[in-house]
A and B are shown apart, each in its own frame.
Chain A
């Protein structure tokens, strides 16, 4: 298993994760919500004809994840690359943006950055996740061509899960087909 160190944000998450795991090991850790209070099992009783069959208690224990913290300082200016429909090609108008971020990443070797790929809302969630990944990897490759080290950049995808703007008209969907450069 590979854990990436991504500054305070990731450290905090690792802490939360390990604390949760530790507590879980102790038996009764996670925040409980809607926990069934009944603990008696159903007992089958046979009637005159036909056989009885048990109706078992089927509890579900709820886990509640807290809202995550905010990220650190980021370079000024735009950090979103927009894509055409079904396209993974970075358009020339985003070249300056890519250059700005490549310089920033190169200048701070400790800085980790995630490229988050997104799609519009049409189609399946998993296939869109794969399409968003292609967009994120296209931006990572463009940064790499300008000398930004691959080791500082992780390409991930949110698929269609995090639209930038609501709505399903073409204007909204064009705003959602994007890759966001996210410093961590």
Chain B
């Protein structure tokens, strides 16, 4: 019987594509991260781990990690919690569920760069709707709150340009933009919970909504939660467009919003320092890889199927 080579033809195209558009670029980025290559240069010098040393010692990159982790650790818990909350509320509705779904999902669909411009207007210190609304509350019981009183006395914060507030404001916009996505994932998870489990819980004496949530909903959403958390982590590590829209130069007040993606863009594209840009990319890849492996491990260990 003649040997068949059909199997190479079956897997070949996928393998070649994967190699060309995924593995090769990652390999090149890995290689470039050990050089001082710039676009247009005919050659580059090998600099060893210099680029990595810079990332883990210089204060700019310390700020980069600070901004990234602040953003991530605000946005992930908030989008997951709000996504779950919104999903539970919408799931309990018998009417208008689709309307609310659409409303909460709108920010996900909207181009963030356009939304960023709207937010910029809203957060503008003098003409913005947010601070002018806050000023209306002056002289009322709200002033019992010392932060509010201080705002009335001088001015309310310059949300986007005060380095104490900038990263949290950007994170808030990230939450606003992102939780609708998680809500949709949780809604899908909720519809797949068998009704009979709630019936069983009811007969077993789970009388309150909290009992039912503890006994059925939350455990049954386990696989969804693992996925939602992982995807939220990856999405918030990737934040770029808000930062680029608000602070095209330099990553915000005192580099307090200098997130990783923006750093890669600034170093590699704006300043044409390919080596350092590649090194940040590799570190970024490491984070995402770690999270993905963690997810796999959690899924295999903890989740259960009916």
Interaction A to B: no
**Which residues of chain B have a CB within 8 Å of any CB of chain A?**
none
**Which residues of chain A have a CB within 8 Å of any CB of chain B?**
none
